[in-house]
Structure 1
Amino acid sequence: MDSLEIIVSIRKIVRSLNLESKGIQKEFGLSITQLLCLGHLQKSPNYQSNHKELMNLLSLNSSTVTGIINRLEKRGYVVRLPKQGDKRVTSITLTASGIKLLEETPNVLHDRLAKKLDNLTDDNRLMIKNALEIITSAMQIHKLDASPLLTPEEPID
């Protein structure tokens, strides 16, 4: 396989994710990252997580995660609950409306891909992980966050 074939394969993956994301956005008014955030909360103990955990999970910077949480909170899908004894610490908690929304949303492409990857052998998953690490390192993007949108401040290299 030459480099052009690799690039075409990557473009197919990116395009399929973008198409799925646009469809979800149009139908439900949510981004894939917002759905991933809600899905994480649904699987978390007591439907709760914290800001740092969401940053690490989604590979996004703090301000992007804050924006996601703000939009989800505004729509009533999550609430911020202060920790007892330390009001500086908050938990992001999924609401009943958020749970209902998750029941109505389709199995997004990320989930379908995750299930297919989970069905692979450990060796194959490790091989894919290593290959992707080689690509991100070669492209010098291994420290780039996984934000779904470009902002005007971000240079395109």
Structure 2
Amino acid sequence: MDTTEILIKIRKIVRSVDIESKKIQKEYGVSIPQVLCLNFLRDSKNYQSTQGEIRKFLNLNSSTVSGIINRLERKGYLARLPKSGDKRVVNIALTSAGDTLLSKMPSLLHEQLSEKLAQLDAELLQQVEKGLETLVTIMDIEKVNASPMLTMEEDLEESFDNQDI
């Protein structure tokens, strides 16, 4: 296999993520990070969490998460609720409209990939990980921040935080 074939395979992965992102945006009116935020709330205790917990889960900066939450709140998919006993803390809660939206959506590419990777035997999974680590090293992108979810909407500045570019 020559290097062109490797580049084509990488491009196929990137393009698939981009296509999925655009399809979800067009059909459901939300971005992949917004879907991930709603999924996180659905899986959280009492369908709610704090903005800080959402930020940690998404591995995005505070301003990006604020924007995600603001847009979802405007669409009625989540609500801000003051925490009982401490009005300084606000919980972000999934609404029934947000839950309904999630129930209509297909499983995301990163969820499908995660399930298929989990089915690989340990040796093959290790080979995949080593191959990807080699690519990251060759491209000198070890310091690029990345979420464990496949998404195209992360801010470019988020990807390059704490780097000398």
Q: Determine the C-alpha separation between the residues in 1 that align with 2:156 and 2:129.
A: 31
**Displacement of 1:121:** 3.2
1:80 is matched with 80
Matches within 5 A, 1:68-147: 68-146=68-146
Q: Determine the C-alpha separation between the residues in 2 that align with 1:141 and 1:50.
A: 31
Counterpart contact for 2:61–2:158, Cα < 8 Å: no
> What is the percentage of aligned positions where both structures have the same residue?
50
Amino acid at match of 1:49: S
CA distance 1:6–1:145, change in 2 (3 Å): same
**Displacement of 1:130:** 4.5
Name the count of aligned residue pairs.
157
2:22 is matched with 22
Whether 2:70 is the aligned partner of 1:66: answer no
Amino acid at match of 2:57: L
**Displacement of 1:137:** 4.4
CA distance 1:154–1:47, change in 2 (3 Å): closer
* Greater displacement, 49-58 / 1-10: 1-10
**Displacement of 1:74:** 0.8
**Displacement of 1:12:** 1.0
Q: Deviations over 1:40-72 (max 9, x none)?
A: 211222112222222222221111111111111
Greater RCO, 1 or 2 (C-alpha within 8 Å, sep 6+): 2
**Displacement of 1:135:** 3.3
**Displacement of 1:112:** 1.6
Amino acid at match of 1:9: K
**Displacement of 1:153:** 6.9
Counterpart contact for 2:64–2:155, Cα < 8 Å: no
Counterpart contact for 2:41–2:48, Cα < 8 Å: yes
Q: Determine the C-alpha separation between the residues in 2 that align with 1:56 and 1:137.
A: 25
Q: Normalising by the residue count of structure 1, what TM-score does the alignment of the two structures yield? A: 0.81
Q: Determine the C-alpha separation between the residues in 2 that align with 1:62 and 1:15.
A: 27
**Displacement of 1:37:** 1.3
Amino acid at match of 1:95: T
Amino acid at match of 1:148: M
RMSD: 2.8
CA distance 1:155–1:101, change in 2 (3 Å): closer
Q: Normalising by the residue count of structure 2, what TM-score does the alignment of the two structures yield? A: 0.77
Q: Which 5+ residue runs of structure 1 have no aligned equivalent?
A: none
